[in-house]
Amino acid sequence: MKKQIRWLHGEIEQWMAEGLITLGQAEGIRARYRQPEGGTPWATIIFSSLGAAILGLGIVLMFAYNWNAIPKFGKLGIVFGLLLLAHGGGAWLFLRGGRYRGVGEALCLLGTVLYGSGIWLIAQIYHIDTHYPNGFLAWALGALAAAWALASIPQAIAALALLSIWSATETVMFERFIHLGPVMIAALVAPLAWWKRSRLLMAAATVGLVFSACVGAAAAHEGTHLILVCLLSLGGLLLALAQLAPSIPSLAPFSRIWDRSGWIAFFSALYLLTFPGLIDEVLPLGLSKHGLAALSWLVPLAAAFLVWTIVVLGMTRFDRRLSFDLYLVPLVLVVTLLLLFFRTGDWLATPFNLAFLTLAISLMMRGCRQPNARLTIVGSVLLVMLATARYMDLFDSLIARGAVFILVGAMIFGQGLLYTRRKRAAGTGFGAGVQEVSR
Amino acid sequence: MRKIAVVVAIIFQVAVLGFMAGGREYIVHNGRTVYLRTAPVDPRDVFRGDYVALSYEISSIEDNLLRDELKKGVAWHDRGLPVYVVLTETDGVAQVSYASDRRPDGGLFIRGRLGGPRFPGIWVKYGIESFYVEQGAGKKLEQLFPKRGEKSRLEMEVKIGSGGEAVLIGYRVRR
C-alpha cells in the first residue's frame, strides 16, 4: 500500500503540471492518501537482528574452545551473566519505547541466541550427551516465549526455524515421526502472525508448517511414502483458507500467501502423483496399514474438507462463485481419499493425470478470459510439463507422441491468439493482468 | 501486562538453563561416586568443541543379565525406553548386576535409555557418552584406546543421583 501511495503522490505532481487537476483537488487527494509516517523500523530490526545472531554465534564458538583455565562456576557465571545482561538491557530499551525500541528487540534476540548457546555450553560443562533434538526444542520454546512477550517477529522467525530443525533432526537422524512440530507451528507461531498481521511471519509459518509436516510424513512410513499425500492435503487446505480469508477481515491480508503456497504445494504433489510408477510407491498399502502415520495426511485432509465445506456453503449463501479450477481441488482430495480406501488395478495415476490436465487447461482458459498473462503462462507450462512427463511412460508409438505434442503446441498457439484478442478488447487499463490466480 | 510477559519470558529462559545446571550440580554434590570402565572412540562437536566419545563396558548388556520385560526381548522401535541397570562394585569399578525396565527400590543403579537390541542382549545409552575437553586435549585421551585383546585402562568418574541419573565429572587411568 505504501508503494502505491508513494506512486500516487508522484503522479499528483505530474497531473498538476499537465493541468489535469487543480491545486485544491491535489490537496484533497493528498489529504485522503497521506504518506505513511514512521512505521516498523525494518532496517534497524534486520541489521540489529543479523548482528545479534552473528555475535551470539561468535560467543558460542569462542566458548566451544572449553578453556580449562576457566572454572566451572566461572563458565556458568558468564553464561547466565551474558543472558541476563542482553535480556535485561533489551527489555529496558524495548519497554521504554521510542527510537531505541528496535535496538531493544535486537538485544532480546541476542539474549535468545545466548540462551540457546547456554543450553549447549551447559551440556558441555556437565558432559551431557542425551537426545540432542531436545536442545533445539528447549531453545525454540524460549524463543517462542520471548516472541509472544515482545510481540517480536524476528524472535518468532527464530522459533520457527528452531522448530523446523527440531522436526527435521528427529525425523532424519532418529527416524521419529513427530506430529507436534507442525501442530506447534500452527498453534503457537501462526496466531502471533495473525495478531501482528504480519504477512512475512505468516508466509514463514506456512512454509515451516508444510516443511515439518512433510519431513514427519517422510519418516512416518518406511521412507517417503506419505509425503505426497500429505503435501496434496496441505495444498488443498491452504487453497481453502485462501478462499475463506477474504470473507474474514483479520485473515484477508494472508489470502495471497495461502493462495500461492497452496497452489505450489498442490501442483507439486499432483504432478508427482501423475507418474504411474511413483504412485505405486505412494499408495502401496492402503489406509488400514498406515496406522498412526495416517495422521500426517488425515489431519490436513480433514481440515481441508472442513474449510472447503465452509467456503462452498458461504459461496452459495452470499451468491458468490468460485472459478472452475478451484472446484477441482476438493474433488481431487475426495478421489485421493477414495483411492486410499479402494486401490485396485493399474489405473491409479489416471484420475491424477486427468485432474492435472483439466487444471492446466482451466487456468489457460481463465487466463484468456480475464485476460491474465500470468495464468496463461502457468497453465501452458503445466500442460507442457504433463505432456513431457507422459512422453516416455504413456504412449508407445512415435505417432502418438508426435500427435500429443502437435495438440499441445496447437493449444498453446491458439491460447496466444485468443489472449491477444481478449487483451486488445479489454484494453490495457490500470490493474489489468494483476488478478490473483484463484480469483 | 507487557512488562510482566517480558519478565516471565526471561525467567523461563533462565529457569531452563538453571534446571539443566542445577539438577546436575545437585547430583555432583549429593550423588554417589562410581568408576565405569570405558574406551575412548573419537572427535569434535560443532557447538561444543572437542570431545571424546566413550564406549562403556556397561553399555552392552548380555541376555542373561536382563530381567522383567527386557527379558522377553526388545526391537528397534523400542529405542528410547528407560532402562535401569543395577550395579555392583568390583575392584573399584562398577559392573552390571542386572538390567530391568522397572526402577529398583534401592541400592546402586544407573538409569539409561535403550539404544537398541544387540545380539545377544541390549545396548544402553546413559547420556554420559561424551567427555568434553579443551580444544586439542582430546588426543591425550584417545591415545588410551586399548589395543586388541587388552582391557581399557580408562575409568570415568561418574556421580549417580537417587533416581539413577548420571553426571560425568572426570576420569582416572589405571596403571
Phi, psi (degrees; rounded to nearest 5) at A38: 60, -105
> Residues of A with CB below 8 A from B136's CB?
none
Closest partner residue to B130 (CB to CB) among A94, A127, A131 is: A127
- The mean per-residue pLDDT over the stretch B113-130 comes to 87
**Complex-level ipTM:** 0.85
Q: Under the phi-then-psi rule, with left for phi > 0, alpha for psi from -120 to 50, and beta for the rest, what region is A30? A: alpha
- Number of structural domains in chain A: 2
Residues A337 and A378 in one domain: no
- Domain holding A381, by residue range, is 366-426
pLDDT at B5 over 80: yes
Min distance B163 CA to chain A CA atoms (Å): 16
pLDDT at A331 over 50: yes
Q: Tell which of A301, A321, A348 closes a domain.
A: A348
pLDDT at A226 over 80: no
- Interchain proximity A149–B8, CB inside 8 Å: yes
pTM of the entire predicted model: 0.80
Residues A308 and A387 in one domain: no
Q: Is A266 among the domain residues?
A: yes
Residues A340 and A236 in one domain: yes
Q: What is the pLDDT of residues B123-133, one digit of tens each?
A: 999 999 888 88
What average pLDDT does chain A have? 82
**Structural domain boundaries of chain B?**
1-30, 32-173
Residues A397 and A335 in one domain: no
Amino acid of residue A256: R
Residues A406 and A335 in one domain: no
- Interchain proximity B9–A148, CB inside 8 Å: yes
Q: How far apart are CA B48 and CA A127, in angstroms?
A: 10
Residues A260 and A344 in one domain: yes
- Interchain proximity B167–A127, CB inside 8 Å: yes
> Residues of B with CB below 8 A from A156's CB?
none
Q: Is A173 among the domain residues?
A: no
pLDDT of residue A350: 84
Amino acid of residue A207: V
Q: How far apart are CA B61 and CA B116, in angstroms?
A: 11
Mapping DSSP onto H, E and C, the string for chain B reads: CHHHHHHHHHHHHHHHHHHHHHHHHHHHHHCEEEEEEEEECCCEECCCEEEEEEEEHHHEECHHHECHHHHCCCCHHHCCCEEEEEEEEECCEEEEEEEECCCCCCCCEEEEEEEEECCCCEEEECCCCEEECCCCCHHHHHCCCCCCCCCCCEEEEEEECCCCCEEEEEEEECC
Residues A393 and A343 in one domain: no
Q: Is A195 among the domain residues?
A: no
- Interchain proximity B6–A125, CB inside 8 Å: no
Handedness of CA B157, B158, B159, B162 (dihedral sign): negative
- Residue of chain A whose alpha carbon sits nearest to that of B170: A127
Q: What is the pLDDT of residues A8-40, one digit of tens each?
A: 888 888 888 888 888 888 888 887 887 665 555
Q: Tell which of A315, A348, A381 closes a domain.
A: A348
